[in-house]
Structure 1
Amino acid sequence: MLLNYFTSALIAFSALFIFSSTLQAGESSAGTKIGILTCESIPNTRLNLLIHSTVDVKCKYVSSDRSTTEYYIGETGVQLGLDIAHKIRQALVFAVLAADFKQGNHKLAGKYIGAGASVSLGAGAGVQVLVGDGQNSFSLEPAFEGNEGIGATVGITYLYLEAFD
């Protein structure tokens, strides 16, 4: 079991390293990369209903120049799709993109929707691409997921964030 925790952490750390490298390189596909958002599932909050699942998360946003750090709480899951997985732990790492953005004031709060898939057998991995609603037009691309559990998920995924101090 300790090996599974280590593997999940390694996957999440690798994804964070990859995103940090691309942020420093200045690469951009759909806007300007403005930072990294990392989210971890909160234990004992997961609900799986085969075609819908949800889990509470706590998240931390760090701007690419490391001048801004913000905290969020919320939930993520499969809104419509197939979820035949039992995940004990889950960590997501997103590159945050925006066309026009001023740091601060928890502007990432809101609902993001997109597509995602993951597979687990002990340690697992997944990917998601999410686009935000509202006036801020944020994009969270791609999310690398490290998890511990067994099974597979695929479908329309979401992330809902609220400011948390």
Structure 2
Amino acid sequence: MKATRQIRNTLLGTAITFSLLAPMSASADGGIELGVLTCKSIPGTHRYYVIHHTVGVDCTFNHTQGQEHYKGIAGIGLGLDLNWRATENMAYAVIGGSSDLDPAAYSLSGRYLGAQASATIAVGASAAILVGGGKRNISLQPIALGVNTGLGAALGIGYLSLGPAFEKRAVRSGF
């Protein structure tokens, strides 16, 4: 009886999720995006201000259609940041809907906000929950996990701002 109820609840949750995302996938050129976005900090771009932290990032989105490369800015927009990080790597699980799934569309371009925390003593961990998107999409990164080297701790409103890696313009802060 309990197993039947769990299966029913799982199927119901899946059906609700797909029914909410169906209008996005019904678009002629769009649909649902699934994949992993990995970001690495760019050496020499860290800026620390106790209540604000920013770093340049190089990111790769691996999905069913291939790969997309992004550059951007990430950090703590408002909070307490007592970190000194030598390196910072994050991996985001991406679930989203887009009006354009062309592999060259760079559909993750946009701004993302949410909660972020990290703790590091030599080698440490970080986590973030970010929601956001751009002009043609909305994406949800249910949780991002990262590995850092350095010393310190941080907690606050995290942000990630992404644009295609080939663009020469600067990507503005997401906060």
TM-score range relative to shorter protein: 0.7 to 0.9
Looking at structure 2, the residues matched to 123 and 83 of structure 1 have their Cα atoms a distance apart, in angstroms, of 17
For the Cα contact (< 8 Å) 1:107–1:136, is it kept in 2?
Answer: yes
Aligned residue type for 2:155: V
Tell me the CA shift for residue 35 of structure 1. Answer: 0.4
Moved beyond 3 Å, runs of 4+: 29-33
* Structure 1 residue 137 displacement after superposition: 1.1
CA distance in 1, matches of 2:50, 2:42: 20
Q: Which runs of 5+ in 1 are unaligned?
A: 1-25
Structure with larger RCO (C-alpha < 8 A, sep 6+): 1
Supply the AA of the counterpart residue of 2:157: I
Matched, 1:92 2:79: no
Q: In structure 2, what is the equivalent of residue 151 of structure 1? A: 152
The alignment's TM-score, normalised by the length of structure 1, stands at 0.76
Separation in 2 of the partners of 1:103 and 1:91? 27
Please give the per-residue CA displacement for 1:116-142, whole angstroms capped at 9, x wherever unaligned: 100000000010010114441111221
Cα RMSD, aligned residues only: 2.1
Deviation at 1:103, TM superposition (A): 4.5
Deviations 1:47-89 (A, max 9, x none): 00000000000000010x3x32000001100000000010000
User: Does the CA-based 8 Å contact 1:68-1:103 persist in structure 2?
Assistant: no
Aligned to 1:78: 76
Q: Which has the larger Rg?
A: 2
SS at match of 1:76: strand
- Structure 1 residues 99, 132: closer, same or farther in 2, change over 3 A? same
Runs of 5+ unmatched residues, structure 2:
1-13, 22-31, 167-175
Q: Give the TM-score of the pair, scaled to structure 2.
A: 0.72
Number of aligned residues: 137
